Every structure is written in C-alpha cells, then in structure tokens.
Amino acid sequence: MVKPKVQVENLRLSYGPREVIHGISFDIEPNEILGIIGPAQSGKTSLLRCINRTIEFTVGAKPSGTIRVDGEDISEMRNVYELRRRVGMVAPLPVGLPLSIYDNVAFAPRAAGMKKKGELDTLVEKCLTQSALWDEVKDRLDSLGTKLSGGQQQRLTIARALSHSPEILCLDEFSIAIDPVTTMRIEDVLKVLKKEVTIILVTNLVQQARRLAARTMFLWNGEIIELGPTEQLFGDKPKDKRTYDYVNGIFG
Amino acid sequence: MNMPADAQPVAQFGETPFTRKKQRSEKIARAIFAVMVACIVIPLIVIIGYLVKEGYSLISWKFLTTNPTHGMREGGIWSALLGTFWLVGVSLCISAPIGVLAAVYLNEYAKDNWFTRVVNLAVVNLAGVPSIVHALFGLGAFVLFAHMGRSILAASLTLAIMTMPVIIASTKEALAAVPRQFREACWNVGATKWQTIWRIVLPNSISGILTGVILQVSRTAGETAPIMFTGAVFYRRIEEGNLFAYNITDQCMALSTHLFAVKTQVTNAPEALSFAIALVLLGLVVFVNLTAILIRSWLRGRKKW
Ligand SMILES: Nc1ncnc2c1ncn2[C@@H]1O[C@H](COP(=O)(O)OP(=O)(O)O)[C@@H](O)[C@H]1O
Ligand SMILES: [Mg+2]
C-alpha cells in the first residue's frame, strides 16, 4: 500500500470563537487529483490555508489536530518557508505581482536563494511552458505581470506556484475569474502535471471535479459529507442524499 | 391643434425637465467650488506677490552667501541659511530612518493587540502636539538632562521628535495602500515577511513614503519655537563659502529665528530685510514641495498595477 502524501487528522479550525472546520480527517494519495466541492463558506479555502500554514497570518485563527506531509507533522516543521515551497497555492483571483513577467516567476526561486542567471532562465521557461503561457509572453518577459489579461495572470500565478517545484499543488477555485477556453487549457495542463505532483483541486464547478479528479470530497459547513471515487459522488447513488442534491444543483 | 405629441420644440437627445434641473444644480455647484478655490489661491498669490515686491530688491547671490553685519542691519544671511540646512539635514537623518522603520514594523509585523493600539494612538496624538511643547521637551531632555547643551544636535533631535510621528503616519498610509493580495501571493510561494517587504511592499510605496518625508522637510525649515530653546542663537559669524562651517555641537543661526530677531530685536533694520529673509524661506519651502510633487508624479507614472 502506498503511503499517503498528506494525512489530515481531526482538523479543527476556529476564527475567534467561531469554529468553521469541525474535526475532519482524510488522506491524499501521491499523484492523485483530489477534488473538493462544496458551497461557499464551507471552509474549503480555510482548509487549504491550514495545509500550507498561511493560516498563521490570519489574526485569531486557531487550527488544531494534525496534518502530515510525507508523514511529517507540519506544525513541527522548523522551516515553514520550505513547507510553503513544497505546497504550491493558487488563489481564486489571479495575482500578478507588480514585477516583470520574468521576475514574477523567478521571485520564489530567488527568495529561496537561487541566483545563477542561467538556472533561472531555464526554470522560468519551463514553468511558463508548463502553465501554457510561454508562447504568449516569450517575447515580452520584461513587461509587467499586472498588465496581462485575467486569464494570462492566472496562468502566471500557476507558473509562479510551479517555480518552487512543489510536491503538492493546491488550486482554489482557479477558474472563477477566467474564460472557459483558458479554463480548459489549464485543465489540460493539470492532467499532465498530475504525473509529477499531487493536486488538490477546490472547485466551484462540480463538473470540473468530475472531469479531473479521481476522488472527490464534498465539504459542507466544515464537515466532510462524503469522500470517495468521483463517479460514486456523481452517480445515481452517492452515500449521502445531500451530495446528490448538491451535485445535481437542487441544493437549498 | 391636434399636434402630434412629438412635435414639441426640438430637444437635445435625452434632455428632459429633470436633466435640465440637474444641469442647473451642477452649474451652481461648480460656481461654488470655483469661489472656494479663489478664496484659497488669491490670498496665496497676494502674499507671495507682496513678499516679492518688498523683498526682491535685496536678494542676490551675495545676500545668500555673506554673514549679517552691522548688528544684522546689513550684509547677508549666510549663517542663518546654512544653519537651517544643518538643522533640517541632521533632524531628517534621525527622523526619516527611524520613522520609516517604525512604520514598517507597525504596519507589517506588529500583531493587533492592546500594545500596538496604544502605540498607534500615541503616534496619532503626538502628531498633533504643538511645537512649543516639543520645544520644552527638547530643552529638558536633550539640552539639560542629556547635557548636550544648546546645539545643532539638541535642536535637530527636538525637530526629529516633532516630525517623527507625522512620518510614521504618512509612511503607514503609503504601506497600507499596497494591496494585501500581493503580500499573500508572496507568502504563498515561501517568501519571508522581510523578502515580501523588500521586494514588493517598499518599491511600491516609496513615492508615498518619500512625499511624506519631504513634506516634513519644509515643515522643519519653518519651525521657530523648537529651535529657539534648544540650539538657535541670535547672532553668529561663520566662515563664508564653507558648507561645513558649523559643527554639530555648535549653536547656529536659522532663517526662521533670524527673521523673528530682525523684526523684533533689531532697531532700525531696513524694511526690505525681513521681507527678503521671508522670501528666501518661502522659496526654500516651495522648492522642496515642488520636488515632492515631481517625485510623486514621476513614480506615479510608473505605477505597476
Ligand atoms: N479571515 C477570516 N476571518 C474570520 N472568518 C473567516 C475568515 N476567512 C474565512 N472565514 C469564515 O470561515 C468560513 C469558511 O470560509 P472559507 O474557508 O473561505 O470557505 P470557502 O472557501 O469554502 O468559501 C466562512 O464562514 C467564513 O466566513
Ligand atoms: Mg474560498
């Protein structure tokens, strides 16, 4: 049996007095795409932010329970920056940093200490190619990342997330602000990336999970309603009636 | 008779009694604003014009670069001019770095707890303390307690204490104008807080920071009370043409106190002299403010999002 890439055990999270994740446990296999679906406010973003420990930047957020990456408890990791490089994160709204396209992608490797121009050049090209943006920007790597279109900025964000060679890639409703064509291109990218990284795909489009994920989790109000093979959740007989209602859009 | 309904006088596209009324109130509002602007601009022009008319005759390169003579009734303003430069320069070297770093700490690092809130409150309130109070503090703390005596150092420290809260406030505002999503994007790729500040936050707030600092230069140049108690003298001759004619432990003359002295302590001083001094002071302030505006618009033009 393969060792899980990520193990979440009895994770709870509260913002101040309000608990928003109520003790959830699940494993993520290496090189799988795990889909996470669920209505807004159900704690999907918060869950991802616990995994890369950026939750620590939110005042008053208190996580408890354990999350292990490759068996190692992340709360005991001394180098949290290393953890964040191992867990890439793509936020819902595209964020081009106010730097050139090149510097956007080279930002993380430089922060990690990579200095050689040649290595950086190769890496930037590789990441932009992987995120299906290279052909569009290869002639203007010096122009500002913030001036790209929304869809291009989202692919730039993905390139930036790939630039620190993550083992796990978290995508948080990445298609919320981009057009369907770009969405499909990125989905194709993800199918290829799956060979190298483990992907957690939070999505507001249930069909996207169906297209990409081998297993899907239905998160609702901070609890896992159902986690299983995607076809089971999307079939006629999911274990829980709420899953059926949500997936088929009759959720009230 | 029996006119069709649409045969009224030709109205402009979209014009109705309602929009006409709106246009009228628009005109009235515009007139009121124009009057307000005039109320501000006209006195300014009158003041400057008056100063120029009365004081211009005395202004010359020689006036700027020679010491006052004959009981300050004749000669130039060299020692006062250089004194002002020193006071502004030294105080800025103290208040700008400390103020900016304090603002970075408060805005980027400090947790939101009671201590931070007290500090923020103190900063806001200190910015509103009258300068004469700072003067007394400077006298007590630097001149007497720290045994600096009346000196450029003590006066500059007093000025620095006075300007620091304002620099902190304006810097914080400039930092807060950088969207939080940029910081989060950096943290997400494993950048430390400092890397984020250095690579993203500071480069994109520098125009606001600089403007805030430079505006304090012009304020410092004009202050009288804080330096009168702590380091300014009535009269002093220094070597002409040497920018380092003052030592940091010396007392110095300054334009603002010189103007005050000429007007109130010196009998039979020529009328034009005080106007000329005021004109130089005003010229300095205008020059500095223009620099601030230029830097701001230049950096704005390179705004990156
Ligand atoms: N920074 C925060 N401070 C306080 N409450 C928050 C914060 N972020 C999210 N929440 C709350 O946590 C719950 C889960 O939010 P979130 O994780 O964003 O859900 P989702 O991503 O599924 O829409 C919501 O009720 C939301 O109001
Ligand atoms: Mg969310």
| Cross-chain Cβ contact A54/B187 below 8 Å | yes
Give domain status of residue A14, yes or no: yes
Of B62, B19, B251, residue with least CA distance to B154: B251
Cβ distance B168 to A69 under 8 Å?
Answer: no
Cβ distance B100 to B167 under 8 Å?
Answer: yes
The number of C-alpha atoms within 13 Å of A134 and in the hemisphere containing its C-beta is: 13
Cβ distance B91 to B163 under 8 Å?
Answer: yes
- Longest Cα separation, chain A: 56
Mutation pick from A83, A97, A144, A171 vs chain B, by most beta carbons of B within 10 Å, is A97
- Distance CA(B189)–CA(A163), nearest Å, equals 9
Cβ distance A197 to A31 under 8 Å?
Answer: yes
Give, for all 305 residues of chain B, the pLDDT tens digit: 455 555 555 556 667 777 788 888 889 999 999 999 999 999 989 998 999 998 888 888 888 888 888 887 888 899 999 999 999 999 999 999 999 999 999 999 998 889 999 999 999 999 889 999 999 999 999 999 988 989 999 999 999 999 999 999 999 999 999 999 999 999 999 999 999 999 999 999 998 899 899 989 989 998 889 999 998 888 888 888 888 988 888 999 999 999 998 888 888 888 888 999 999 999 999 899 898 888 888 877 776 77
Among left, alpha and beta (phi > 0; psi -120 to 50; other), residue B87 is alpha
pTM for the model stands at: 0.85
Length of chain B: 305
Structure tokens at B74: 């004749």
Look up the ipTM and state it: 0.91
- Distance CA(B25)–CA(B14), nearest Å, equals 17
Cβ distance B93 to B157 under 8 Å?
Answer: no
Cβ distance B168 to B123 under 8 Å?
Answer: yes
- Those residues whose beta carbon sits under 5 angstroms from the ion ligand 2 are A 45
| Cross-chain Cβ contact B305/A99 below 8 Å | no
Residues from chain A that touch B112, judged by Cβ atoms under 8 A, are 59
The letter for the amino acid at A86 is: R
- Residue B194 confidence (pLDDT): 95
A113 Cβ under 8 Å from any chain B Cβ: no
DSSP B156: H
Give domain status of residue A127, yes or no: no
Give domain status of residue A22, yes or no: yes
| Helix (H) or strand (E) run with residue A21 in it | strand A18-28
Tens digit of each residue's pLDDT (9 = 90 or more) over B193-252: 999 999 999 999 998 899 899 989 989 998 889 999 998 888 888 888 888 988 888 999
Give domain status of residue A158, yes or no: no
Name the domain count of chain A: 1
Q: What is the CATH number of the domain that holds A229?
A: 3.40.50.300
- DSSP per position, B81-117: HHHHHHHHHHHHHHHHHHHHHHHHIIIII--SSHHHH
Identify the residue whose tokens are 């122009």. Answer: A143
> The domain containing residue A74 runs over which residues?
6-94+166-247
Mean pLDDT by 10 residues, chain A (252 residues): 89 94 94 93 95 92 94 93 95 92 95 92 94 92 91 93 95 89 90 93 91 94 93 87 86 60
Nearest CA to ligand 1 atom 27: A41
Of B66, B91, B83, B135, residue with least CA distance to B251: B83
Which superfamily does B58-301 belong to? MetI-like (1.10.3720.10)
| Three-state secondary structure call for residue A67 | strand
- Residue A1 confidence (pLDDT): 65
Alpha helices in chain A, H assignment, sequence order:
44-51, 80-86, 101-111, 117-130, 134-137, 150-162, 180-193, 206-212, 230-234, 241-247
- Residue A241 confidence (pLDDT): 86
